[in-house]
C-alpha cells in the first residue's frame, strides 16, 4: 500500500497482511484499500473522532501525587484482522495453556507432586514472590475454589510465522477493559466496515464471565469488583468494566471481614458479599497473609476464602503462574500434568537458577534479554547496556541467580498502522483473554493488540506502549448483534443493586459537591476582581485603592480560607500590591483553598466515583480538567494587575470555567 514504510532493519519481520506463501491476504488488501482511499481530511476526521470518544469515556487526567498526568492512549484507525480458521487454531493452543496453568495451580497448592518428583525445581517455585505458602492445602480439605475463571496471555509471531507466548496474566486480565473500549469506539468510527467484514462480537466473553460470577450463588448473589484506588494507572479500565458488567466497583477499604463473612460498607449498613471479582494483585489482598506486600488490603480475607465464606475470582495465589521461569520447563509440565505435547511454545527461556542453563545463557549474553522474575515487564538487554550497567546486572545475578531468566528475543511480526497521521508497519504483541466455560476455556473473539514501544531497558506495560489496535476476527457467516450496552442508549450505565452505596462513594460525592461550591465561589470573586482591574478609565493603582476593590479582595480571602491573605496580618501591604497573592490564589495547587487546589481536590473526588458518572458528566469533567491544565500553564507576570493582555486571557479562562461548572451543577441535579 502506498505510504506504508517498511521497517528499517536487515532482519525480516513476519508481515501479517500476507499468507505463509507471501501472497497478499484479500481481507487485508480490502481494508488497506479502503483506508488508502480516504482523503487526508477524512482520515483526520476519523482519528479526531477516536480521540473524542476515548476522552468521553473517561477522565483525561488522573491525579497522582498532587500533579497532573496525561492519560493518553492512542487507538489505531486500522484494526488487526484474522479469519476464523486461523483464529480457532490459535485459540486451541491458548486454551490448552490455560488448562495447563489451572492444573499447575492445583498441584502447587495441593499435593505438590511436581515438586516431589523434581519436575518443578523447588528453588524456581520458592524464588517467586507469587508463591503464597499460606494457601497450600495438601489434603484438599479446604473449600478454596482452585479453578481459574479467567486468564490472559501476551503472544507474538516470530520471523518464521510461528506464535510464541511472551507473558502470562493469571491474577486478573489486565487490559480487558481497554479491549472493550477499543471495540466500542472503533465500531462506531468505522460502522460500515465493521458490518461488512462480519466482525465477531466480544460480548459473548463478558456474558460468560457474568455466568461464572453467578455460578453457585444465583441472581440473588451480591457480586463486587475489587480494584485499586483511582490513582492506579489501570483505574480507568476498572471503572469502564464495572459499568459494562453492572457490578459495583469497590476498594479494599470498602470491605470488612466479620464472623467469616465479607461485608460491603454502605450508607445503610453492612451488606454481605458472595463473590469478588478481583482486579488486584495477590500480595495486596490481605495484609495478614505471609508475603503480603504492604498494610493495605482486607484483613482476614484469606481465611474467609479458605472457609468458603466468599468466592474470589481468580482464586488467590494465581500470581505464581506468572513466573517466567516456568517457560523453561513448560513442555515437561504439559506432559506431566496433561499427558499431551505443548501446542503453543513459549519464548526460548533459560532459568539462571540452574547451573547448566546459567552457564549456557551467560556464554551468549549479548544475544539474549534478561528479566527479574518478580518485576513484570522489565527487560534488560545486555547488548545495549554500558559496561557499568552490565556489571551491576551480573552482580545481581550472582547474588540471586534463581530470580533471573534469560530469553531469546522474539522478532515480532508487523501490521500496518496509522497513528498521528503517519502510516507505517509496526511490530506488535497480541493479548488474548480467556474465560472458563465448563471443562474448557473460551477465548474472546478479539483482544488487545499492543504496538511495540521498541525501547530498550524499559518495562513492557500498558502505560508505555505507543498505541493499540482493535482485533477483528472475521466470520464467514452472518454475525448476530450482541452487546451488554443498554438498548435505549449508546452509553454504558451503572445500576445500584439493592440500594447499595458504599460509604466511601457517598463521602467522595459529598466532598465533590463541597469542592464544586468552593471552585464556583473562588471563580466568581476572581472574575469580578479581574474585571475591575481591566477598567479602561482608571489605572490599576487607583482601582486597588477603592473600598469596593479592597472589600472584594478581603472577601476572596474569607471565601477561600487562605488566611492571612488580604484580611490578616500583612493584609494592608497585600491590598496595595496584590499581584503575588492573586497569582498564588490562581495557580498554587499546593496551597489549600486556592482555585487550583480546589479544582485539584474536586478532581480527586470525581476520579474516585467515575464508574458512577454518566457520559455527559465525564465529558464535562474532561473539559474541567483541560481548564485546570490551562490555568496551570498561564504565564502570569509579576505585574499581573498592570498587564491588561494577561488579565484578559485569565478572565476568558475563568469565564469558561464558570460556564462549565454551571453545566456540571446542572448534570449533578439530573443524575445524582
Q: What is the 3-state secondary structure (H, E, C) of 39-75?
A: CHHHHHHHHHHHHHHHHHCCCCEEEECCEEEECCCCE
* d(C-alpha 452, C-alpha 68), whole Å: 26
Mean pLDDT, rounded, of the chain: 88
* d(C-alpha 310, C-alpha 216), whole Å: 11
pLDDT: which is higher, 439 or 422: 439
C-alpha cell at 268: 445503610
* Closest-CA residue to 77 (of 177, 182, 170, 163): 182
* d(C-alpha 343, C-alpha 97), whole Å: 8
Structure confidence at residue 293 (pLDDT): 64
Q: Are 253 and 504 in contact (CB under 8 A)?
A: yes
Least confident piece of the model among 93-97, 161-165, 217-221: 217-221
What is the three-state SS of 407-428?
A: ECCCCCCEEEEEECCEEEEEEE
pLDDT at 496 over 80: no
Structure confidence at residue 421 (pLDDT): 72
| C-beta atoms surrounding 55 within 10 Å | 19
Alpha helices, DSSP H only, in 198-289?
203-214, 235-245
Alpha helices, DSSP H only, in 468-546?
503-533, 540-544
Reduced DSSP (H G I as helix, E B as strand, rest coil) percent helix, strand, coil of the chain, to 5: 45, 15, 40
Least confident piece of the model among 11-20, 197-206, 274-283, 409-418: 11-20
Label residue 325 by pLDDT band (50, 70, 90): very high
SS3 537: coil
CB-count exposure of residue 430 (10 Å: 0-12, 13-18, 19+): buried
C-alpha cell at 315: 482464586
* d(C-alpha 591, C-alpha 562), whole Å: 8
Instruction: Output the pTM of the full model.
Output: 0.89
C-alpha cell at 179: 479491549
pLDDT at 215 over 90: no
Structure confidence at residue 142 (pLDDT): 43
Structure confidence at residue 486 (pLDDT): 61
Instruction: Give the mean pLDDT of 107-112.
Output: 93
pLDDT at 374 over 80: yes
Least confident piece of the model among 70-74, 277-281, 295-299, 539-543: 70-74
Q: Are 41 and 60 in contact (CB under 8 A)?
A: no
* Closest-CA residue to 588 (of 631, 624, 650, 627): 631
Label residue 12 by pLDDT band (50, 70, 90): confident
Structure confidence at residue 143 (pLDDT): 42
pLDDT: which is higher, 462 or 475: 475
DSSP strand E in 526-605: where? none
* d(C-alpha 526, C-alpha 599), whole Å: 14
pLDDT at 134 over 50: yes
Classify residue 476 by its DSSP letter.
S
Label residue 173 by pLDDT band (50, 70, 90): very high
CA distances from residue 128 to 121, 328, 371, 403 in whole angstroms, order as listed = 12, 15, 13, 7
CA angle 445, 22, 470 (to 5 degrees): 25
Q: Kind and range of the H or E element at 471?
A: strand 468-474
Q: What is the DSSP string of 335-367?
A: HHHHSS--SSPBPPEEETTSHHHHHHHHTTGGG
Q: Are 505 and 612 in contact (CB under 8 A)?
A: yes
SS3 222: coil
pLDDT at 40 over 80: yes
Q: Are 457 and 380 in contact (CB under 8 A)?
A: yes
* d(C-alpha 460, C-alpha 239), whole Å: 23
Label residue 225 by pLDDT band (50, 70, 90): very high
* d(C-alpha 515, C-alpha 616), whole Å: 20
pLDDT at 69 over 50: no
Q: What is the pLDDT of residues 546-559, one digit of tens each?
A: 999 999 999 999 99
Structure confidence at residue 140 (pLDDT): 53
Amino acid at each position: 500500500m502506498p505510504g506504508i514504510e517498511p521497517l528499517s532493519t536487515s532482519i525480516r519481520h513476519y508481515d501479517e497482511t500476507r499468507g505463509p506463501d507471501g501472497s497478499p491476504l484479500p481481507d487485508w488488501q480490502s481494508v488497506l484499500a479502503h483506508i488508502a482511499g480516504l482523503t487526508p481530511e477524512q482520515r483526520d476526521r476519523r482519528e479526531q473522532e477516536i480521540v473524542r470518544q476515548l476522552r468521553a469515556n473517561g477522565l483525561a487526567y488522573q491525579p497522582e501525587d498532587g500533579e497532573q498526568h496525561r492519560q493518553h492512549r492512542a487507538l489505531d484507525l486500522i484494526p488487526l484482522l484474522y479469519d476464523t480458521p486461523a483464529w480457532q487454531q490459535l485459540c486451541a493452543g491458548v486454551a490448552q495453556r490455560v488448562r495447563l496453568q489451572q492444573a499447575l495451580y492445583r498441584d502447587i497448592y495441593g499435593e505438590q507432586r511436581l515438586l516431589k518428583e523434581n519436575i518443578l525445581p523447588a528453588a524456581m517455585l520458592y524464588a517467586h514472590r507469587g508463591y503464597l505458602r499460606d494457601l497450600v492445602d495438601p489434603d484438599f480439605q479446604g473449600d478454596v475454589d482452585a479453578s481459574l475463571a479467567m486468564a490472559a496471555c501476551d503472544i507474538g509471531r516470530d520471523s518464521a510465522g510461528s506464535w510464541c507466548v511472551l507473558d502470562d496474566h493469571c491474577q486478573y486480565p489486565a487490559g480487558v477493559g481497554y479491549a472493550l473500549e477499543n471495540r466500542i469506539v472503533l465500531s462506531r468510527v468505522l460502522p460500515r466496515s465493521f458490518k461488512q467484514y462480519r466482525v465477531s462480537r466480544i460480548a459473548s466473553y463478558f456474558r460468560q464471565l457474568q455466568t461464572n460470577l453467578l455460578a453457585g450463588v444465583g441472581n440473588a448473589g451480591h457480586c463486587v469488583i475489587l480494584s485499586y484506588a483511582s490513582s492506579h494507572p489501570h483505574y480507568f479500565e476498572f471503572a469502564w468494566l464495572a459499568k459494562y458488567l453492572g457490578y459495583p466497583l469497590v476498594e479494599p477499604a470498602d470491605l470488612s471481614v466479620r464472623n467469616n463473612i465479607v461485608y460491603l460498607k454502605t450508607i445503610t449498613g453492612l451488606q454481605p458479599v458472595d463473590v469478588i471479582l478481583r482486579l488486584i494483585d495477590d500480595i495486596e489482598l490481605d495484609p495478614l497473609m505471609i508475603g503480603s506486600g504492604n498494610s493495605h488490603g482486607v484483613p482476614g480475607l484469606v481465611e474467609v476464602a479458605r472457609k468458603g465464606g466468599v468466592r474470589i475470582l481468580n482464586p488467590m495465589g494465581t500470581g505464581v503462574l506468572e513466573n517466567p521461569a516456568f517457560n523453561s520447563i513448560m513442555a515437561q509440565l504439559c506432559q506431566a500434568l496433561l499427558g499431551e505435547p505443548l501446542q503453543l511454545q513459549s519464548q526460548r527461556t533459560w532459568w539462571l537458577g540452574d547451573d547448566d542453563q546459567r552457564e549456557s545463557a551467560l556464554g551468549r549474553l549479548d544475544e539474549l534479554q534478561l528479566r527479574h522474575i518478580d518485576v513484570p515487564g522489565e527487560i534488560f538487554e545486555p547488548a545495549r547496556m554500558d559496561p557499568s550497567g552490565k556489571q551491576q546486572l551480573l552482580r545481581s545475578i550472582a547474588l540471586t541467580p534463581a530470580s533471573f531468566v534469560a530469553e531469546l528475543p522474539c522478532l515480532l511480526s508487523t501490521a500496518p498502522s496509522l497513528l498521528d497521521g503517519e502510516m507505517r508497519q509496526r511490530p506488535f504483541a497480541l493479548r488474548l483473554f480467556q474465560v472458563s466455560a465448563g471443562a474448557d476455556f473460551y477465548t474472546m473473539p478479539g483482544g488487545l493488540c499492543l504496538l511495540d514501544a521498541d525501547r530498550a531497558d524499559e518495562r513492557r506495560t500498558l502505560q508505555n506502549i505507543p498505541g493499540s489496535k482493535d482485533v477483528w476476527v472475521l466470520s464467514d457467516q452472518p454475525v448476530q448483534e450482541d452487546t451488554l450496552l443498554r438498548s435505549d442508549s449508546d452509553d454504558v450505565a451503572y445500576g445500584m443493586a439493592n440500594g447499595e452505596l458504599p460509604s466511601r462513594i457517598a463521602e467522595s460525592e459529598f466532598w465533590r459537591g463541597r469542592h464544586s461550591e468552593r471552585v464556583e465561589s473562588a471563580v466568581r470573586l476572581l472574575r469580578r476582581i479581574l474585571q475591575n482591574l481591566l477598567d479602561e478609565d482608571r489605572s490599576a493603582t487607583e482601582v486597588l485603592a477603592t473600598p469596593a476593590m479592597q472589600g472584594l479582595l478581603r472577601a476572596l480571602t474569607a471565601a477561600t480560607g487562605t488566611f492571612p491573605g488580604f484580611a490578616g496580618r500583612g493584609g494592608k501591604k497585600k491590598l496595595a500590591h496584590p499581584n503575588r497573592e492573586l497569582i498564588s490564589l490562581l495557580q498554587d495547587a499546593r496551597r489549600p483553598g486556592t482555585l487550583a487546589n480546589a479544582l485539584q481536590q474536586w478532581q480527586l473526588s470525581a476520579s474516585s466515583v467515575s464508574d458512577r458518572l454518566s457520559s455527559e458528566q465525564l465529558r464535562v469533567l474532561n473539559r474541567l480538567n483541560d481548564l485546570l491544565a490551562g490555568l496551570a500553564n498561564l504565564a502570569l507576570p509579576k505585574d499581573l494587575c498592570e498587564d491588561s493582555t494577561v488579565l484578559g486571557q485569565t478572565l476568558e479562562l475563568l469565564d469558561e470555567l464558570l460556564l462549565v461548572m454551571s453545566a456540571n451543577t446542572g448534570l449533578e441535579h439530573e443524575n445524582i
